[in-house]
Every structure is written in structure tokens, then in C-alpha cells.
Structure 1
Amino acid sequence: MAFRTFLSSLGINAPEVTTVLNSHEVRPGGTLTAEVTVRGGAADVRVERIAVQLVTRVEAAEPTEKSWDNPGVVALQAVPAFDLAAGEERGARLAIEVPWEMPITHALGRDLRGTRAAVRTILEIDNAVDRGDFDEIAVHALPAQDLFVDAYRTLGFRFDEAEVKTGRVNGGHNQLSKFWQELEFYFPADYGRGPNAQLETVFIARHDSLDLITGPHGPYPFDYAGLTLDQCVAWLDRHCRSLWG
């Protein structure tokens, strides 16, 4: 799917930029490729910047639970400044490396309520900036993240929502990103926590392992190699019973 942005402040014949993504689905650690095409308007201009941003919805930046206006920039690639003649067309191919700690929007193939991610193109000409529209994407969980989400499901936990926050979680052990994501699950009755009690879970992912944080506890490191659902279920059950059982 393509999306376009143009500088309305420069008039109806302003330059226009079109961005086409190679895919709208990705995992942390993957790559998003975008084809960016700029078409000149009625006059020669100096294009100061074209930037393609990977953004995520940040809970504290939005006035309501559903708004999607002030995203956090997770990664970006930019085209250097250039002169664009009237009616001229130029193209560029940009690759955005998706960080391992990128907040996920889907787990076990299902949408995670509360988190959204998108690609946004910024066009800047003569100090006028158009931030364009969001082209939403699906960021699927890593296999190990899916295993732990499935472990919660197997034990009877019920997913509520996900939130992306700014700052450091539990002191920021091994955390590289300025954003972190919290997945909220309702406890099952087995753990005696009451019908509305929740367990917040944070994944700090890397290329070969992740840290799991449960509420104020952790981080607990897990290697991807050899990790199974049975292991995740057994560990999570022991962990919860030792703290709350």
C-alpha cells in the first residue's frame, strides 16, 4: 500500500512524496524497506529533508486511550537535502532496521490491544514541514515472546492490554531503547489474587535472548536456543506461586 504527503502550505501545486512499504508485517530485529518517490510541483524548490520514521504509540503522550497523535520515534532513515526542479521525479529506497526492543502489536498472531506502530514520512521544504499520515504496520512477537504469551494463556491468565512507556524499567538492566512495553494480564483464580488483580510483564529482547520482568521482579534472562512452551509454563507457574501463591 502507498501513502502520500504534500505541503499544503506551499499551495495546491506543491511537491508530493509517495512511500510504498515492501511489507506491513515485521518482527523485532527485522528490516522494513520503503520506496520513496518525490514529484516536483509548479516551481523549483530545495528539499531540506525527507525522513521515513518507524513510530509507536506511547501511552503518556496521548490524551485518551484511543488517540494516536504524538507517536514516539523508534528508528528512522533520511534522504539528504537536494534541489528538486518543477515537475521532476526522484526515487530512493530506504531500509529501516527494526530494533530488537521494538514494541510488538501482535502475539500468537492476534492484535494486542493498546499498542500501535506505523511508518510515517516527513517532507520538509523551505522551513515548512508536513509529517504526513501514519501507514500502520503489524509488529509480530518473536518466537520466544510468543512462547511466554502462550504460557500465560495455558495457565489461565487473561490478557487485558499493552502499553508503551518512556524511560527505564526496573533500573533499565540491559535496556537500550528509551521506550518499553508492558503487557497486562489478569491473574487466574489459582493464585488467589482476586478477580481484578493484574500481572504486568515486560520483555527486553536481544538477538539471542530476552529478559523477562514481572511487576517489580526481575529481570530474568532466557536464551532462545532450546526454549519450549513446557519450560515457559513450568517456570512461570513456579515463579508466580513462589511470589503470590
Structure 2
Amino acid sequence: MAFRKFLSALGVGAPEVETTLSTAAVRPGDRLEGRVTLRGGGADTTIQRLGLEVVGRFEDLESDSGWKNPGVLVASHPVGPFTLRAGETAHWDLGFDLPWEMPLTHALSMPVNGGRVAVRTEVAIDNAVDRGDFDEFRVHALPAQDRLLRILRERGFRYDEAELKRGYAEGADQAVDFWQEFEFWWPAAYELTGQLEVQFVAREHDLDLHLGTAARLTFAYDDTGDWSARVHEHLVASFVR
């Protein structure tokens, strides 16, 4: 992002901020890095707090087309207070260890409808807080997630959208207090109506696949077995009467 004046109430000569990410695309479990640059304005300024957060759009915010109050997914340790001298340029490197359950914005090489995440730079001066710009980035699915989503597609499930929800899903062994739910329409072959809600709980070496209210299926990333057959048999046993 280009330099941007913040806290416009300070008027002409206000400090400026720029947040630059080292990459625009990551996967769950990766480390997201970048740099924040503050450039002093026409006078010395006391920066009370500089904070960085990875944020996402939750289901209850979907009616808001902007990023007014997104939910925090990962937060960094705040910096401050400190004095930014007139005309001075200061830098801070940022780093976020993204959780394995990080919401996806892309899967099967396509954008995920309903998936958006960003880094928010927050600056506080004179008891006023500027939320700054939102630097969006892409989170691509893990290979195992792509494999399972492809299986659902090949079996006729039609993807609708994904929603980011707060809290803990029933029966899920989550390490974070949010989850992403993928909604699929049932194919005619299963003779069921409505939608199937799908959740991934990923870890370093394996993941759990939650299909609606059925018990979870666990897949090791190095498992070379027939995942498609396991998914189908699980769906039939759990939902088809």
C-alpha cells in the first residue's frame, strides 16, 4: 500500500503510515511477514500505540460491505508509546504465525465466496484511534483441503458459500475460537434436500473433516488411501436412510 495520512483531524502535515506484506498469498500454518513504516509530519508526535491484527469478516458482519468492525483472528504485541519526530521515518517488522485453522480465501485455484482476511494497522494518537487501511491477502487451501473439496465436487456437491463464525463448533477439536463453514447443496444421487455444512479442523500432520452432524473423519496428509470412498461411505452411513 502507498503511504497514507492517518488521523485526518491532525490536519496538514500529519504523520503517514504504510504497511507492506512480504507476500500476498499464504497457506494455513504459514508465517505472514511484512513491514510497517511511519513517516513523521510537520511536528513531533507522540504515538500512544501501534498495533497490528489479522482480521476476517464474520457471518454477522456480512451485511456490511466495508471493513468497519471485523473480527480479530490473530493479534500482534502492540508497540508504544513513543515519539515520532518531525520528518523522521521509523520501521517495524511484523510477523504473524497463522493458525492451521486459518480461514481460506482461495481453494481449488479459485476465490472462496465469503472468504476475506486482511492485516489491519491501528494507530492511536492523542486518545484518538485510526484503524488505518486494510491490507488484504490470500489464504490458499492446504493440499489435503483441496483434495477433499475436489472429492465433494466430483460427487456432485454444488458449492454455495463459506461463512466465518465465532466460537466453537459442536464436536470440533478446535485450537481457535472461530471456524469457517463451507455450504454445499446435496446432489440428487443422495436423495436429500437442503445443504451440507462442511468444516475443516487442520493441524500440522492431519485434519478433521466435519460433514454436517456426522462424526468427524480424520485424514493424515501422507495417507495414500481412497479418500473419496471414505467420504462417500461416511455420508451414506450418516445421512441416507
2:19·2:135 contact (CA, 8 Å) conserved in 1?
Answer: no
Q: Where do 4+ consecutive residues of structure 1 move more than 6 Å?
A: none
1:210·1:222 contact (CA, 8 Å) conserved in 2?
Answer: yes
The aligned residue for residue 42 of structure 1 is 42
TM-score, with structure 2 as normaliser: 0.93
- 1-10 or 83-92, larger mean C-alpha shift: 1-10
What is the root-mean-square deviation of aligned Cα atoms in Å? 1.7
TM-aligned CA deviation for residue 75 of structure 1:
1.0
TM-aligned CA deviation for residue 63 of structure 1:
3.1
1:56·1:71 contact (CA, 8 Å) conserved in 2?
Answer: yes
CA distance in 2, matches of 1:46, 1:19: 19
The aligned residue for residue 174 of structure 2 is 175
1:9·1:128 contact (CA, 8 Å) conserved in 2?
Answer: no
1:166·1:178 contact (CA, 8 Å) conserved in 2?
Answer: yes
The aligned residue for residue 207 of structure 1 is 204
CA distance in 1, matches of 2:89, 2:135: 22
5+ long unaligned stretches in structure 2:
none
The aligned residue for residue 105 of structure 1 is 105
Q: Number of residue pairs matched?
A: 239
The aligned residue for residue 127 of structure 1 is 127
1:55-88 Cα shifts (integer Å, max 9, x gaps): 1110113435x55432111112233432111111
The aligned residue for residue 238 of structure 1 is 233
TM-aligned CA deviation for residue 227 of structure 1:
4.4
2:183·2:196 contact (CA, 8 Å) conserved in 1?
Answer: yes
TM-score, with structure 1 as normaliser: 0.91
TM-aligned CA deviation for residue 220 of structure 1:
2.4
TM-aligned CA deviation for residue 3 of structure 1:
5.9
5+ long unaligned stretches in structure 1:
none
- 120-129 or 212-221, larger mean C-alpha shift: 212-221
The 5 Å alignment of 1:177-192 reads 177-192=176-191
1:3-51 Cα shifts (integer Å, max 9, x gaps): 6351112222211111111111111101111111111112212111112
Q: What is the SS of the residue equivalent to 2:37?
A: strand
1:12 and 2:48 aligned = no
